Amino acid sequence: MNIFKTTVLLAALTLLLVFVGGMIGGRTGMIYAFVFALIMNFVSYWFSDKIVLMMYKAQPAKEEEVPAVYRIVRGLAARNNMPMPKIYIVPTPMPNAFATGRSPQHAVVAVTDGILRLLNETELEGVLAHEMAHVKHRDILTSTIVATVAGAIYMLANMARWSMMFGGRDRERNSANLIALLVMVILAPIAATLIQLAISRSREYDADEGGAHFTHNPIGLANALKKLQMGIQHAPGQDVNPTTAHMFIVNPFKGKDLMSLFSTHPPMEKRIARLEALVGKV
């Protein structure tokens, strides 16, 4: 169901891009903006893992440093016919984890110092299975495609705004067209953001379910999420870049979002309830 939802949302995002291009009326400008977004996200796709790991000062972990992590990840990879990803440690008390890499063959699973201190081995297995599910589902590729189209929409809206500022008195444009363009400039980026966030939340649900199937123990991940939610309250991600918040298994920022509509993660209560409903089914 979430795969279908993601497909529909991607189609909606693409249609929104076409609509914005049509509103501006400049096919050449639309093509240039889209090509620029493709180039930017191509670079991001190939180098985002290195950028993120450097951003959070993550270091490669030796097996003797985190034997439990290696044992769990190696077992998950073997049981699911996946390559063994690289293991990194992020030096922060914030309890969290994320996966990155452009493909299962170039994947990295990163865990923080905080999560290693907070969770027991069963709960840690649930978290690592969630991240391995992201890798198997190639969610980095999905998020890159989404970012490409959304980025093109943002740039087109920005172009339209400058066009209105410097060409708003063009006699060929009537007031109705200017109003329609103004509405598009305001609403299109918001709509693109909402679609982007909806896709991110769908992928989190899929990774939760995938992780539960990997371990055959959805309660392990459910209990981990409960602990992580409380742990973030005591040790939030003070140095987390908001543009990377969607990568983490739980929202790295303290407190609840003022508007859940703009959250990169599904409500924790729903995630836990869905996992508990899988007991005896995986």
Residues in CB range of 69: below 8 A, 6 or more apart: 61, 87, 111, 116, 124, 128
Indicate if 65 belongs to the active site. no
Question: Residue 154 burial (CB < 10 Å; 0-12/13-18/19+)?
Answer: middle
* Both structure tokens of 115: 């999560």
Task: Find the catalytic residue in 131, 172, 204, 269.
Answer: 131
Backbone CA torsion sign across 79, 82, 84, 87: negative
* Both structure tokens of 55: 């951003």
The closest alpha carbon to 252, from 89, 96, 57, belongs to 96
* Both structure tokens of 263: 């959250």
Work out whether strand 97-100 and strand 108-112 pair parallel, antiparallel, or are unpaired. Answer: antiparallel
* Both structure tokens of 21: 């291009």
**What is the three-class DSSP state of 59?**
strand
* Both structure tokens of 26: 């400049």
Active site residues: 131
